[in-house]
């Protein structure tokens, strides 16, 4: 998933809804970067993201694990 401000599109696979507060705090960061930095938002996201495609959830989880392990992500910053 790529933020629209960074060239992402409006397709269903790229759009993730969030409350206004989380969306504002996320800003132009990638979803995984935001969730890695915000443990409460991460817990709520994975608990409530029932309509996000499973492959996207797996990709976000993998990117968070890589970020926390200090390995560079396969996605651009």
**How far is 60 from 21, CA to CA, in rounded Å?**
20
Q: Say yes or no to pLDDT of 53 above 60.
A: yes
**How far is 50 from 52, CA to CA, in rounded Å?**
6
* Helices marked H in the chain: 20-26, 31-37, 39-48, 54-68
CB 60 within 8 A of CB 68: no
Residue 22: predicted pLDDT: 81
| Maximum Cα interatomic distance, the chain, rounded to a whole number of Å | 31
| Residue of higher predicted confidence among 38 and 56 | 38
State the pTM of this model: 0.67
3-class SS of residue 71: coil
């Amino acid at each position: 998933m790529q933020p629209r401000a960074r060239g992402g599109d409006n397709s269903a696979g790229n759009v993730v809804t969030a409350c206004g507060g989380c969306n504002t705090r996320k800003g132009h960061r990638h979803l995984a970067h935001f969730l890695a930095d915000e443990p409460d938002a991460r817990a709520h996201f994975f608990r409530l993201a029932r309509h996000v495609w499973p492959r996207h959830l797996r990709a976000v989880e993998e990117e968070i694990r890589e970020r926390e392990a200090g390995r560079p992500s396969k996605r651009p910053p």
